[in-house]
Amino acid sequence: MTAAIRQPDIPAPVATARTPKVRFPAKSCDCHAHIFGPQDQYPLLPKTHFVPHVNPLADYVGMLGILGCERGVLVQPSVYGPDNSLIIEALEAKTFDLRAIAVVAADISDRELEDLHAVGFRGIRINTASGTPGLKLADAPRLAERIKPLGWHLQFYVDLRVMPQIEQELAKLSINIVIDHFARISTTEGLEAPAFKALLRLVNRDNCWAKLMGPYFISDDAPRFADTTPFAQAMIKAAPDRLVWGSDWPHPSAREKLPDDGDLADLLFAWAPDEARRKKILVENPRRLYGFE
């Protein structure tokens, strides 16, 4: 029996992003975004912490054109669980230069991993901080060993304020790891807060990368999120060669703080006013991390 179509319970993204003040450099990459398809073709998990609108690849690519991004990384959203079919179709269409991050079952076969690699997946996301369950932190060591031959990384959505012990668990992993959403630190707690200091310790490790993205996860200073700047700049100072930028389009968790992607592009220029460092974050670092040509 076909599941009933559920109505979206989050805002749709801004239909046409504002053109940013400064266009991104050639070969820039948005390293974190999601796409969502019609529920009758791409069913949601029975219990999810949000119900998305239909947000197709074409709309995402249109937004990137306004920013000047020529590459993108699609991240499997938690609401689809390990069914990566929508992203697989986007990669196979070859209409845009894409890589992807999967959500998988803990017992995924080697053949399935190899098939995902062949179409453009370059990592697995472990999500311990959202309301929709998925892989657990305990799955990380075994998955790390299995994906190491592929040159993949593990991406983590974690909350260092709620689970500070995660720092020690992540530090034990011997492959590249990527932390997204600023590890859910809070700007109101300041630069000396334990969670942010833990994040800085992690990004100082040679195998730890981070995504500068999702300011609405850590700040209530909408719509410009200016209070995030010192935190982003401290991370850039600590690890300029291991930071990438992501839009988080279509911003499924922003809700009442839904941003304009043009504003997020301008915020990156506040975070990284130096042109050479911006090029690292937007072009050079993504090329290395995701294996773009």
DSSP letter for each residue of 249-262: BT-TTTGGGPPPHH
Q: Is 184 part of any domain?
A: yes
Q: Is 41 part of any domain?
A: yes
Position of tokens 């796409």?
Answer: 35
Task: Domain of residue 99: give its range.
Answer: 29-290
What is the Cα gyration radius of the chain? 18
Phi, psi of 31 (to 5 degrees): -95, 10
Q: Is 281 part of any domain?
A: yes
Q: What is the pLDDT along the chain (293 residues), one digit of tens a residue?
A: 467 899 999 999 999 999 999 999 999 999 999 999 999 999 999 999 999 999 999 999 999 999 999 999 999 999 999 999 999 999 999 999 999 999 999 999 999 999 999 999 999 999 987 666 678 899 999 999 999 999 999 999 999 999 999 999 999 999 999 999 999 999 999 999 999 999 999 999 999 999 999 999 999 999 999 999 999 999 999 999 999 999 999 999 999 999 999 999 999 999 999 999 999 999 999 999 999 98
Q: Is 80 part of any domain?
A: yes
The sheet carrying 243-245 orders its strands as 29-33, 71-75, 97-102, 121-127, 153-157, 177-179, 208-212, 243-245
pLDDT at res. 179: 98
Instruction: Assign residue 133 the CATH number of its domain.
Output: 3.20.20.140
pLDDT at res. 131: 62
pLDDT at res. 2: 63
Number of domains in the chain: 1
Q: 21-35: b or e for each residue (b if 16 or more CB lie within 10 Å)?
A: eeebeebbbbbbbbb
Record the pTM: 0.96
Q: Is 21 part of any domain?
A: no
